[in-house]
Amino acid sequence: MTRRNTLAFTIAFAALLSGCGLRPVYSNGSNGAVAKAIGHVEVAPIEGKAGWLVRNALNDKLAAINGGAGPAYRLVIKLDDNIQGFGVRTDDTITRERRTLRARYQLIDGATGTQVLDDTAGSDVGIDVVSSEYATIAAEDTGLERLSQTIADQIISRLALFAMQDSKRAAPAAP
Protein backbone atom coordinates (compact mmCIF):
# COMPACT_ATOMS: atom_id res chain seq x y z
CA MET A 1 0.00 0.00 0.00
CA THR A 2 1.31 3.43 -0.80
CA ARG A 3 1.50 6.19 1.73
CA ARG A 4 -1.41 8.04 0.10
CA ASN A 5 -3.61 4.91 0.21
CA THR A 6 -2.74 4.33 3.84
CA LEU A 7 -3.67 7.90 4.75
CA ALA A 8 -6.94 7.66 2.82
CA PHE A 9 -7.78 4.36 4.53
CA THR A 10 -7.02 5.82 7.97
CA ILE A 11 -9.25 8.85 7.37
CA ALA A 12 -12.08 6.70 6.01
CA PHE A 13 -11.80 4.29 8.95
CA ALA A 14 -11.86 7.17 11.44
CA ALA A 15 -14.97 8.60 9.79
CA LEU A 16 -16.73 5.23 9.92
CA LEU A 17 -15.76 4.66 13.53
CA SER A 18 -17.03 8.06 14.65
CA GLY A 19 -20.44 7.33 13.14
CA CYS A 20 -20.91 3.93 14.75
CA GLY A 21 -22.12 5.26 18.09
CA LEU A 22 -19.15 4.17 20.20
CA ARG A 23 -18.60 6.42 23.17
CA PRO A 24 -15.71 6.39 25.66
CA VAL A 25 -16.92 4.83 28.89
CA TYR A 26 -14.79 6.96 31.17
CA SER A 27 -15.09 10.25 29.27
CA ASN A 28 -15.03 13.43 31.35
CA GLY A 29 -13.37 11.67 34.30
CA SER A 30 -15.12 12.35 37.59
CA ASN A 31 -17.76 14.44 35.79
CA GLY A 32 -18.61 11.66 33.32
CA ALA A 33 -21.65 9.43 33.21
CA VAL A 34 -19.91 6.46 34.84
CA ALA A 35 -18.61 8.45 37.81
CA LYS A 36 -21.95 10.21 38.26
CA ALA A 37 -24.03 7.04 38.00
CA ILE A 38 -21.88 5.01 40.33
CA GLY A 39 -20.89 7.86 42.65
CA HIS A 40 -18.80 5.84 45.00
CA VAL A 41 -18.70 2.14 45.68
CA GLU A 42 -17.72 0.58 48.98
CA VAL A 43 -16.40 -2.94 48.57
CA ALA A 44 -17.47 -5.11 51.50
CA PRO A 45 -14.78 -7.29 53.10
CA ILE A 46 -14.30 -10.62 51.32
CA GLU A 47 -13.11 -13.77 53.08
CA GLY A 48 -9.72 -15.35 52.53
CA LYS A 49 -6.55 -14.51 50.68
CA ALA A 50 -8.35 -14.44 47.33
CA GLY A 51 -10.91 -12.07 48.83
CA TRP A 52 -8.19 -9.76 50.11
CA LEU A 53 -6.54 -9.70 46.67
CA VAL A 54 -9.82 -9.10 44.80
CA ARG A 55 -10.93 -6.38 47.22
CA ASN A 56 -7.61 -4.53 46.94
CA ALA A 57 -7.69 -4.76 43.13
CA LEU A 58 -11.26 -3.43 43.08
CA ASN A 59 -10.48 -0.57 45.45
CA ASP A 60 -7.49 0.42 43.31
CA LYS A 61 -9.59 0.43 40.13
CA LEU A 62 -12.60 2.14 41.70
CA ALA A 63 -10.47 4.95 43.08
CA ALA A 64 -9.89 6.12 39.51
CA ILE A 65 -13.60 6.48 38.64
CA ASN A 66 -15.22 7.51 41.91
CA GLY A 67 -17.13 10.73 41.38
CA GLY A 68 -18.46 11.21 44.89
CA ALA A 69 -21.45 13.22 43.67
CA GLY A 70 -23.65 10.28 42.71
CA PRO A 71 -25.39 7.68 44.82
CA ALA A 72 -23.49 5.43 47.18
CA TYR A 73 -23.35 1.72 46.55
CA ARG A 74 -22.09 -1.30 48.43
CA LEU A 75 -20.50 -4.15 46.50
CA VAL A 76 -20.90 -7.56 48.15
CA ILE A 77 -18.82 -10.40 46.71
CA LYS A 78 -18.65 -14.12 47.45
CA LEU A 79 -15.74 -16.06 45.97
CA ASP A 80 -15.31 -19.70 45.05
CA ASP A 81 -11.62 -20.63 44.76
CA ASN A 82 -10.88 -24.13 43.51
CA ILE A 83 -7.71 -26.01 42.54
CA GLN A 84 -8.13 -29.23 40.61
CA GLY A 85 -5.44 -31.58 39.32
CA PHE A 86 -5.99 -32.84 35.81
CA GLY A 87 -2.65 -33.90 34.35
CA VAL A 88 -1.75 -37.32 35.77
CA ARG A 89 1.29 -39.50 35.14
CA THR A 90 1.26 -43.27 35.14
CA ASP A 91 2.44 -43.24 38.77
CA ASP A 92 -0.66 -41.18 39.72
CA THR A 93 1.25 -37.95 40.37
CA ILE A 94 -0.37 -34.74 39.19
CA THR A 95 1.50 -32.77 36.53
CA ARG A 96 -0.96 -29.95 35.92
CA GLU A 97 -3.51 -28.06 37.98
CA ARG A 98 -6.35 -25.76 37.09
CA ARG A 99 -7.12 -22.97 39.51
CA THR A 100 -10.57 -21.48 39.09
CA LEU A 101 -11.80 -18.33 40.77
CA ARG A 102 -15.49 -17.42 40.51
CA ALA A 103 -17.17 -14.41 42.03
CA ARG A 104 -20.83 -13.69 42.59
CA TYR A 105 -21.28 -10.02 43.22
CA GLN A 106 -24.20 -7.83 44.09
CA LEU A 107 -24.38 -4.06 43.88
CA ILE A 108 -26.64 -2.65 46.57
CA ASP A 109 -27.97 0.90 46.60
CA GLY A 110 -26.83 2.50 49.84
CA ALA A 111 -29.86 4.76 50.18
CA THR A 112 -32.61 2.21 49.64
CA GLY A 113 -30.85 -1.08 50.36
CA THR A 114 -32.17 -2.54 47.11
CA GLN A 115 -30.07 -4.78 44.97
CA VAL A 116 -29.53 -3.12 41.60
CA LEU A 117 -27.11 -5.61 40.06
CA ASP A 118 -26.50 -9.34 40.58
CA ASP A 119 -23.90 -10.96 38.36
CA THR A 120 -20.96 -13.34 38.25
CA ALA A 121 -17.38 -13.16 37.05
CA GLY A 122 -14.83 -15.89 36.70
CA SER A 123 -11.60 -17.05 35.22
CA ASP A 124 -9.12 -19.88 35.46
CA VAL A 125 -5.42 -20.44 35.11
CA GLY A 126 -3.30 -23.51 34.38
CA ILE A 127 -0.41 -24.36 36.69
CA ASP A 128 2.44 -26.77 36.03
CA VAL A 129 3.17 -29.01 39.00
CA VAL A 130 6.93 -29.48 39.23
CA SER A 131 9.15 -31.51 41.53
CA SER A 132 9.77 -28.47 43.76
CA GLU A 133 6.86 -27.98 46.14
CA TYR A 134 7.95 -24.39 46.72
CA ALA A 135 7.83 -23.63 42.99
CA THR A 136 4.36 -25.15 42.70
CA ILE A 137 3.04 -23.12 45.64
CA ALA A 138 4.61 -19.96 44.18
CA ALA A 139 2.93 -20.70 40.83
CA GLU A 140 -0.41 -21.21 42.58
CA ASP A 141 -0.03 -17.87 44.37
CA THR A 142 0.97 -16.08 41.18
CA GLY A 143 -2.03 -17.63 39.45
CA LEU A 144 -4.30 -16.40 42.24
CA GLU A 145 -2.92 -12.87 41.92
CA ARG A 146 -3.59 -12.88 38.18
CA LEU A 147 -7.07 -14.31 38.67
CA SER A 148 -7.84 -11.61 41.24
CA GLN A 149 -6.89 -8.89 38.77
CA THR A 150 -8.95 -10.53 36.02
CA ILE A 151 -12.02 -10.85 38.27
CA ALA A 152 -11.64 -7.21 39.36
CA ASP A 153 -11.40 -6.10 35.72
CA GLN A 154 -14.55 -8.05 34.83
CA ILE A 155 -16.47 -6.57 37.76
CA ILE A 156 -15.34 -3.02 36.95
CA SER A 157 -16.34 -3.48 33.31
CA ARG A 158 -19.79 -4.69 34.35
CA LEU A 159 -20.20 -1.81 36.80
CA ALA A 160 -19.26 0.66 34.06
CA LEU A 161 -21.81 -0.94 31.73
CA PHE A 162 -24.43 -0.71 34.48
CA ALA A 163 -23.53 2.96 35.00
CA MET A 164 -23.79 3.73 31.29
CA GLN A 165 -27.19 2.03 31.05
CA ASP A 166 -28.36 3.74 34.22
CA SER A 167 -27.31 7.15 32.91
CA LYS A 168 -29.20 6.52 29.65
CA ARG A 169 -32.35 5.61 31.60
CA ALA A 170 -32.03 8.76 33.71
CA ALA A 171 -31.35 11.08 30.75
CA PRO A 172 -34.39 12.91 29.36
CA ALA A 173 -35.56 11.85 25.92
CA ALA A 174 -34.50 14.05 23.02
CA PRO A 175 -37.33 16.07 21.40
What's residue 25's pLDDT?
57
In-domain check, residue 172: no
Please give the residue range of the domain that contains residue 127. Answer: 24-167
The pTM of the full predicted model, rounded to 2 decimals, is 0.77
Mean pLDDT, each 10-residue run in order, the chain (175 residues):
68 62 55 66 93 94 70 91 87 89 94 93 93 92 95 92 71 51
Q: What is the domain count for the chain?
A: 1
Return the CATH number at 98. Answer: 3.30.160.150
Angle (deg, nearest 10), helices 133-170 and 48-63: 40
Q: What is the structure's pLDDT at 142?
A: 94
**Assigned domain for 173 exists:** no
Cβ-Cβ contacts under 8 Å for 123 (sequence gap 6 or more): 100, 101, 147, 150, 151, 154
Helix (H) or strand (E) holding 108: strand 94-109
- The answer to whether 106 and 76 are in contact (CB under 8 A) is yes
Distance CA 21, CA 17 (A): 8
Q: Is 15 inside a domain boundary?
A: no
- Asked, for residue 40, whether it belongs to a domain, the answer is yes
Whether 38 maps to a domain, the answer reads: yes
